[in-house]
Structure 1
Amino acid sequence: MHNLAATGGVTGPGRIGRVAIGDLLKRAARRFPDRIALTDGGRQVTFTELERDANRFANHLVQRGLKPGEKISTICNNSVEFVKALFGIHRAGLVWVPINTMLGPADMDYILGHAEVRFAIIDDALHAQADRRAALEARGMEMIAIDLTGNAGNAGKTGLQEFNGLLEGQSDIEPDVEINDRDLAMIIYTSGTTSRPKGAMHCHLAVVMAVLSNCIEMRLSRDDGITGQFPLFHCAGHVLLLSYLSVGGRMALMRGFDPVACMEAIVRDKLTVFVGLSLMYQAILDHPRRRDYDLSGLRCCIYTMAPMGKPLLERAIADLCPNFVLSSGQTEMYPATTMSRPEVQLDRYGNYWGESLIVNETAIMDDNGNLLPRGEIGELVHRGPNVMMGYYKDSKSTEEARKFGWHHTGDLALIDGNGEVLFLDRKKDMIKSGGENVASVKIEETLLAHPAVQNAAVVGLPHPQWGEAVSAFVKLKPGAVADEAGIEAHCRKHLGGFQVPKLVRILEEMPMTATGKLRKVELRQQYSGHFVERA
């Protein structure tokens, strides 16, 4: 409509050519009406049922008076009803603001207030938490409960309307809501490892383009099924759900990770793909009932968020599946952005994130905006249709994140001679000690190779002589025995002198965000005076 002269006065296709998240399910349901879309233990849900109830809930939201562009939150763990509600939200043209259920009431309240949310869908078990319920009631939230424990409904203990009851009598026909590809579809808040979480805004086009890229790069088909232990309130869980359903595949929903439940689902639901963290693979391989389950149906295993140590990766490839890939992305760049190739997994080890996917470009940039050649270290940057629209109500951070026409990840990396991204560290986690740059991730990899170490975090602490001192904090595996001197000796065996930690502390628990990421900021704050006080 803005340049009719270029088309000889012919307007664009309008709604005929629209791109909308909800259409992914609609098209799959027409192609595969009777195929299983979701499982939840012994429960099975077809594409037809999912499509029908998504439309019913969308119609309820419209009748309730919610208008396109209004914010609506989900405070839910994985369930069939959560998925139905999610597609209903997309169909009604509302803006989805997922709440991480592991957040405390204060952080939850901050997101609801910052995003100006007045309406939410919540699991009855979460509503039953007194401090969470008080925070929601103080904000005057309108709420619908998903009945997972039998306490929801007007006659139940919550006094809330129950999700399934609201679907009764609603039309199965999708409501007539105008949706444009650049309309805001969701605001997903970052984990806040160093500051208050920021709301990354994504439009329908960004998510759909990421989904289509995943389908191609992962070579998905209607015969594929994936484990669904990753929470759907994260961008990774959400985009995996959309990717598999869009091709007629299926997801086995789980509320958290349990090695036996995962193995049972792989066998029972004939799943072909397992996606998990390194610790999840370790738990399955070490489980005493591992040999009770035939997992040979797996054709691909995906690990994410962190590299897998060489011994574990070799063992997993030999025991579980020959095809392992590391996939990465960001809340700000709808995932995935990079993915490694399975055929090179045993050719190199370390934090290799793989190649850029077809949906986006990936490059390395210096501080002046110059793109660097292969082999040189700089900041990892991306651009493509899956980049966020910006941070909600934060123009300063948005401008900073898109300097020089690229999205800035805050990650230090290089692209090697094979075109693979090698992650080195977060820019803020690069330690400058005695004139040397020390990548904390390299030290962490060495610590994790110690047989007694389960988790590790390395930070730079103020030091009167070195500027910053490499400092390591570790958590031991259950039942493991080790001391700080032995861990330091292990580091000396495998690292250069300037890389060896000047402080090693064994902690009972590591400070973590609700998304399972290490909160290094707390370690820096707690131990900031360690070397200064000693001096």
Structure 2
Amino acid sequence: MTSLEATGGVPGPGRIGRVAIGDILRKSAKRFPNRIALTDGARQVSYDELERDANRFANALVARGLKPGAKISTICNNSVEFVKALFGIHRAGLVWVPINTMLGPDDMSFILDHAGVKVAVIDDNLFGQPERRAALEARGIELIAVNLAGKAADTGLPTFDLLLDGQSEIEPEAAFDDRDLAMIIYTSGTTSRPKGAMHGHLAVTMAAMSNAIEMHLSRNDGITGQFPLFHCAAHVVLLSYLIVGGKMAIMRGFDPVACMEAIQRDKLSVFIGLPLMYQVILDHPRRKEFDLSSLRCCIYTMAPMPRPLLERAIAELCPTFVQPSGQTEMYPATTMSQPDRQLERFGNYWGESTLVNETAIMDDSGNLLGVGQIGEIVHRGPNVMLGYYKDPEATEAARKFGWHHTGDLALIDEHGEVLFLDRKKDMIKSGGENVASVKIEETLLAHPAVMNAAVVGLPHPQWGEAVSGFVKLKPGAQATEAEIIEHCKKHLGGFQVPKLLRIVDEMPMTATGKLRKVELRNAFTDHFMLGQTG
């Protein structure tokens, strides 16, 4: 039966009932025109200004002949203009293809070619990089310069600010549906070329609404914005605050003093950071100069918080800490830890499903597992991707058995909380035992001298794989490899203790801040097979 048959010939509401990312800003701007939406240092931007300039940019794009569904990239670091451009893109019904600015010209070119991008907004200082500029000019991409470094006029490109001149502040009419393609965000690809995760307007809006409810956000909330907006996590955080009339303090990267200044100046209620960022702030010699008492909640992400650090942060910084999780393919957050249990269990607890998600644990045969059983985390919900762009095989694999597959191994405990164990590909099989690299990494991070840690399995003639650890020490800290191994022996079973441990100056990272374990494996893959013992 068709939908018209089901409704007795009555068509759906169409535009009246549409869900769209651009509508988030319009609705908040109508409710809170004079409230501050963004700050950037001393600069303050109201919802009304953001709304008007987003519409002006949308009209400028339409005037250039861009039609709904056309691909447009941003090659930008965080700025007010980036946010205005982002909403203008959505208002025009275009498909946003953000470029991670930390990617090299080769990966950038792959994404632009793969997505078929014809127009891009770029920061003036990034256009000034010769290799990036050459790659863009070779593709004939129309470029619009953002005056981030004060040199946009020197680029010879149309500038974002001047492009707005004379444009209408009325939102252009653009025909698209809430399940139409709104963005393609490319994964960071630790082992291969990135894949383009496609999302529609409904998925992203539902994720933002879910986050606002789960985090109890209101118009009086504000959050630090040091994470790059080209990343799905920072993007959805921005939307989650704008949807309720809150604000974000825009920053370009993490600077502990800048973060503390923003919290005090803007009376921000939420700080979001990596565990290492909390360590830096707690240890900063100027911390007590700043009034951070407005903080009501702190979010940590991308890594577990070592117990000593979490206990100290709760005691000295903020009473409430939560850890959300998600991934590019399942717009975050998918799960969120509950603060009422933050001091009752420690480790990589990702918490309960958020209200838009159904989360389960599945074995390789598609069977859903019970409490305490280890398997792959799978999800269902409206925030799932439309699929991988131009990759039906990978899309089909991700949807096997009617659930979205994350590639993460975990269990759900008796409290209904997800306890992450490892990536499926990172589980180490040593001497017949399964060793979760995450558990070993948590133990290494608990050593007072260790700043970052990575654990991989290396080929071993006797054990199959040998647990092998790599650590970076905190600035000024001292420890020997033997001392760290002794620390592990106190807290781990014999089969879990690293058979190789190396102190390194730097960890190989992806452009989104994830450890590139594949580089460590490749660099040391023959270590044990060649008869080396340490």
TM-score (norm 1): 0.99
Residue 198 of structure 1: CA displacement? Answer: 0.6
Matched, 1:498 2:531: no
**What is the alpha-carbon distance in structure 2 between the residues aligned to residue 164 and residue 140 of structure 1?**
22
Aligned to 1:47: 47
Q: Flag structure 2 segments of 5+ consecutive residues without an equivalent.
A: none
- Separation in structure 1 between the aligned mates of residue 243 and residue 491 of structure 2, nearest angstrom: 46
Partner SS state of residue 56, structure 2: helix
Report the counterpart of residue 487 of structure 1 in structure 2. Answer: 484
Partner residue of 1:67? 67
Tell me the residue number matched to 1:522: 519
Residue equivalent to 2:96: 96
Give a deviation string over 1:226-256, Cα, whole Å, max 9, x none. 1111111001111111110111101000000
Partner SS state of residue 458, structure 1 = strand
Counterpart CA distance in 2 for 1:24 and 1:435 is 52
1:446 aligned to 427, 443, 446, which one? 443
Q: State the identity as a percent.
A: 78
Question: Over residues 8-51 of structure 1, what are the superposed CA-to-partner deviations in whole Å (9 max), with x where a residue is unaligned?
Answer: 11111111000100001000000001111100000000000000
Q: Aligned with 1:418: secondary structure?
A: coil
Are residues 1:349 and 2:369 paired?
no
Determine the C-alpha separation between the residues in 2 that align with 1:212 and 1:512.
31
Cα distance in 2 for partners of 1:115, 1:453 equals 41
Deviations 1:79-114 (A, max 9, x none): 000000000000000000000111111111111111
Partner of 2:469 in structure 1? 472
Q: Deviations over 1:312-352 (max 9, x none)?
A: 00010011111100011000000000001111100000000
| Distance in 1 between residues matched to 2:197 and 2:87, nearest whole Å | 20
- Give the 5 Å matches for 1:396-475: 396-475=393-472
Distance 2:531 2:224 in 1: 50
Match of 2:228 in 1: 231
SS at match of 2:340: helix
Deviation digits for residues 443-478 of structure 1, max 9, x if unmatched?
Answer: 000001111111111000011110000011111111
- How many angstroms apart in 2 are the aligned matches of 1:112 and 1:122? 13
Aligned counterparts of 1:476 and 1:394: Cα–Cα separation in 2 = 41
Tell me how far apart the structure 2 counterparts of residues 323 and 465 of structure 1 sit (CA, whole Å).
47
The reply to whether residue 287 of structure 1 matches residue 259 of structure 2 is no
User: 2: CA distance between counterparts of 1:132 and 1:72?
Assistant: 17
SS at match of 1:525: helix
Q: CA deviation at 1:290?
A: 0.4
Is the aligned partner of 1:306 residue 2:303? yes
> 2:115 maps to what in 1?
115
Q: CA deviation at 1:149?
A: 1.5
1:85 alignment partner in structure 2: 85
Q: 1:293 & 1:343 partners in 2: Cα distance?
A: 27
Cα distance in structure 1, aligned partners of 2:37 and 2:528:
56
Q: 2:141 maps to which residue?
A: 141
In structure 1, what residue type is equivalent to 2:339? Answer: P
- Counterpart CA distance in 2 for 1:8 and 1:67 is 34
Equivalent residue, structure 2, for 1:201:
198
| Counterpart Cα distance in 1 of 2:481 and 2:316 | 33
CA-to-aligned-CA distance 1:168-200 (integer Å, 9 cap, x gap): 100000001112011100000111112111100
Is the partner of 1:113 in helix, strand or coil?
A: helix
- Matched to 1:494, the amino acid is H
Amino acid at match of 1:358: L
Counterpart position of 1:272: 269
Count how many residue pairs are aligned between Structure 1 and Structure 2.
Answer: 532
CA RMSD of aligned residues (A): 0.9
Equivalences for residues 249-268 of structure 1 within 5 A: 249-268=246-265
Letter in 2 for 1:145: A
Aligned partner of 1:8 in structure 2 is 8
1:363 aligns with 2:360: yes
CA distance in 2, matches of 1:401, 1:425: 18
The C-alpha deviation readout for 1:353-390, integer Å capped at 9, x for no partner, is: 00000111000000000000011000000010000011
- Partners of 2:211 and 2:3 in 1: CA distance: 33
- Provide the secondary structure at the position in 2 that maps to 1:335: strand
Displacement of 1:2 in angstroms is 3.6
Residue in 1 aligned with 2:240?
A: 243
Letter of the aligned partner of 2:150 in structure 1?
A: G
Q: Distance in 2 between matches of 1:398 and 1:61?
A: 31
Distance (Å, rounded) in 1 between the aligned partners of 2:10 and 2:377: 41
Q: How far apart in 2 are the matches of 1:265 and 1:253?
A: 9
**Cα distance in 1, alignment partners of residues 236 and 149 from structure 2:** 27
Structure 2 residue matching 1:337: 3-state secondary structure: strand
For 1:34 and 1:237, how far apart are their aligned partners in 2? 24
Matches of 2:3 and 2:156, distance apart in 1: 54
> Post-superposition shift, 1:401?
0.6
Mapped to 1, the partners of 2:385 and 2:485 lie a distance apart of: 42
What residue identity is the alignment partner of 2:84? K
Partner residue in 2 for 1:534? 531
Secondary structure in 2 aligned to 1:532? coil
Which piece of structure 1 moves more, 2-11 or 157-166?
Answer: 2-11
